[in-house]
Homo-oligomer: A and B are copies of this chain.
Amino acid sequence: MIAVLAGGVGAARLLAGLVRVVPPSEVTAVVNTGDDVVMHGLHICPDLDTVTYTLAGADNPDTGWGLAGETWQAMGSLGRYGGETWFNLGDLDLGTHLYRTGHLAAGVGLAEVTAGITAGWGLEPTLLPMTEDRVATMMTLADGSGGGDEVGFQEYFVRLRHDVPVSSVRFDGAEASLPGPGVLDAIAGADVVVVAPSNPIVSIGPLLAVPGIADAIRARRDHTVAISPIIAGAALKGPADRLMRELGHEASVVGVARIYRDIAACLVIDSADADLAGAVEAEGMACVVTDTVMSSPEVAADLAKVVLGATS
């Protein structure tokens, strides 16, 4: 059994590779819900949906998010009324949010709702929300016109295009949250725990802030492998490098090692950072060097093989 701590796109690609090298039913992803947002009354879980759509092979290659074959009629209509359209919701994607929102309103838990959604796509891996409680990643803007203001993650990420400096991040509600159903068992029972190449601050950070999850992983440190989302000092996508710098971390594989060394015994870094392997080891982690740019599911599968071999 493999447990993967997952954010969005990077984790989704790794999972798509992983299910090519192990039986998909043996894969459980524990997925960040700190990015979740209620828009227009609908409960939206961007990371769960990105992982779902990617594993289903239904992800949209044009946008890099959402569903293939998407249309935008509802947003056009919302725009007619001057409604908020900065968080773009495709018509097909809306079906997912309608299903989720209706079932949550009827008292069904997010884990069961998520199982209903993955079943709709015929997925064999298990996707578990990190928690069924509300945890909201909140970003304090550092300066400029919004200095000192705190905004929700999607407002930072989508509306402001993560193009603003951040002075702090917190996970509202995390202290009182419980791990979602199955999460601790998935970690405790895994042969390998993988920390996907997701943003350490805002994708993996919320997971580790849910009381119990970080301890469960620390207990499995010898079987835990992290993959650096930083390659040659930069994130392939998104603000991981920038956020790390702004929050006082080094935006390098060494900085990633310092974040993960307490929970993972091994860090997988890209060949471009081969010269830093020794520096990673100096932080107390084993270091494996390989190609980590998942340009295709085949490359992702090769990376998954390396990751699974790293603890044996």
Set B41, B77, B98: member contacting A95, Cβ < 8 A: B77
A41 touches B77 (CB 8 A): no
- Count of chain A residues near B, Cβ 8 A: 41
Stretch at the interface among A99-107, A150-158, A258-266, A301-309: A99-107
Q: Which residues of the partner chain B approach A41 to less than 8 Å between Cβ atoms?
A: 41-43, 98, 101-102, 104-105
- Given contact pairs A73-B73, A94-B74, A80 touches B42 in the complex (Cβ within 8 A): no
The answer to the question of A92 belonging to the interface, with a C-beta cut-off of 8 Å to chain B, is yes
> Roughly how many angstroms separate A79 CA and B117 CA in the complex, as a whole number?
11
Binary interface encoding of chain A residues 193-227 relative to chain B, with 1 for a CB under 8 A from any of its CBs, else 0: 00000000000000000000000000000000000
CB distance from A141 to the nearest CB of B (A): 22
Stretch at the interface among A81-89, A159-167, A181-189, A273-281: A81-89
> Roughly how many angstroms separate A90 CA and B77 CA in the complex, as a whole number?
11
CB distance from A48 to the nearest CB of B (A): 13
B76 touches A102 (CB 8 A): no
> Roughly how many angstroms separate A80 CA and B119 CA in the complex, as a whole number?
9
Looking across the interface, which residue of chain B has its beta carbon closest to that of A118? B81
The answer to the question of A116 belonging to the interface, with a C-beta cut-off of 8 Å to chain B, is yes
B39 touches A81 (CB 8 A): no
A73 touches B102 (CB 8 A): no
- Given contact pairs A81-B95, A83-B95, A102 touches B40 in the complex (Cβ within 8 A): yes
Chain A positions near chain B (C-beta within 8 angstroms): 38-43, 67, 70-71, 73-84, 89-96, 98-99, 101-105, 116-117, 119-121
In the complex, 29 of the A-B residue pairs with CB atoms within 8 angstroms, ordered by the A residue number, are A39-B102, A40-B42, A40-B102, A42-B98, A42-B101, A67-B77, A71-B73, A73-B73, A73-B94, A74-B91, A74-B94, A74-B98, A76-B95, A77-B92, A77-B94, A77-B96, A78-B95, A78-B98, A79-B95, A80-B121, A81-B99, A81-B120, A82-B116, A82-B120, A83-B98, A83-B99, A84-B102, A89-B98, A91-B91
Closest 10 CB pairs of A and B: A77-B95, A73-B91, A41-B101, A40-B98, A40-B102, A81-B120, A78-B95, A91-B91, A74-B94, A83-B99
